[in-house]
Chain A
Amino acid sequence: MKSVVRLLLAGFAVSLMAGCASGVKHSEMASSIPTLKQGEGRVYFMRSASMFGAAVQPDIRLNGDVVGESKPGGFFFVDRPAGRYIASTSTETEKTLSFALDDGETKYVKTYPVFGVVVGRVVLELETPEKAKTALTDLAYTGEATKTAAVK
């Protein structure tokens, strides 16, 4: 009986871990992250490795375009021309964050799940640079372009 319980617990743990980001850590790739082009800013999207709501992993849109996913323990970034932006996620309802991006500026957007009526929602909020840089260290890269670059 004990072995069955252990097996079930192990299976539960594996199923939880399966939803976590598992790419290169920010601390391992920081030196290879390209510098910004003139006229552009950078937006980091990040989510802590908390298992709460881990199964809820919606796409993240920036001004309507899908730029990545909100994955527990993951981060990615996109470079965009300076201007006005609305980041959004959509599960049972849409959550948005509006912000301005200046030339040469880096903004940090944290995403996190909250309770919903049927499924959880993923809220977006601006994070202070100080807290974001600390949190990024242990997060794994989930973006496409630099994942390729990091493999080289």
Chain B
Amino acid sequence: MPLSSRVKSSLAALALCAGCAPMIQTAPATIEPVSSSGNTHGVMLRDTTRIKLDTGYTRMIPSGKWIPVGRLSQGTVYRPVGTVFTIAARQVHEAYLVVHEKTLVGFYLPGESSYTPLSNAVPLTLGEIE
């Protein structure tokens, strides 16, 4: 019998309390700096976007300006301007967006030089900025 979302949320909260919240799965990653990859245009995320991590936790990506800091094989890496963004499960990680064809495919964790993919890529409403 499928669990209701309320039960799932309660179980996630209980797991967090008990210290057995899942770890975010990561792989080492080295970004190619933006200066050598050529793309220096920032993007504007027009809408605050809700995402669900593979660990079951949700996060809101703030709307606003994001600038490219480099590239991974999975996509372009963007960091927020004037704010910070983190993802969390058992631990908390500063995270940059990894975007491929206006779709969020994963996160680059700059404090660990690692990459964590999203199982379900999320379309983003992006606009170019000068």
Contacts and interface: CB of A to CB of B under 8 A. Distances in A.
Interface stretch (B3-11, B33-41, B107-115): B107-115
A128 interface: yes
Given A84-B113, A95-B91, A125 B18 contact: no
A117 B19 contact: yes
A86 B111 contact: yes
A96 B83 contact: no
B86 A126 contact: yes
B91 A98 contact: yes
Interface residues of B, number: 18
Contacts of A125: 86, 88, 92
B1 interface: no
Contacts of A51: none
A117 B91 contact: no
A133 to B, nearest CB: 12
Contact of A98 (B16, B19, B94): B94
Contacts, number: 62
A46 to B, nearest CB: 14
A96 B19 CA distance: 12
A30 B50 CA distance: 37
A47 B86 CA distance: 18
B111 A99 contact: yes
B19 A116 contact: yes
Given A97-B93, A100-B94, A85 B111 contact: yes
Nearest to A95: B91
A86 B112 CA distance: 8
A98 B112 contact: yes
Contact of A107 (B16, B19, B84, B109): B84
Contacts of B88: 125
Nearest to A132: B84
B17 interface: yes
Given A97-B86, A97-B91, A125-B92, 17 more contacts: A85-B111, A96-B91, A97-B93, A97-B94, A98-B91, A99-B84, A99-B93, A99-B110, A107-B84, A114-B17, A116-B19, A117-B17, A123-B92, A125-B86, A127-B84, A128-B83, A129-B82
Interface of B: 16-19, 82-84, 86, 88, 91-94, 109-113
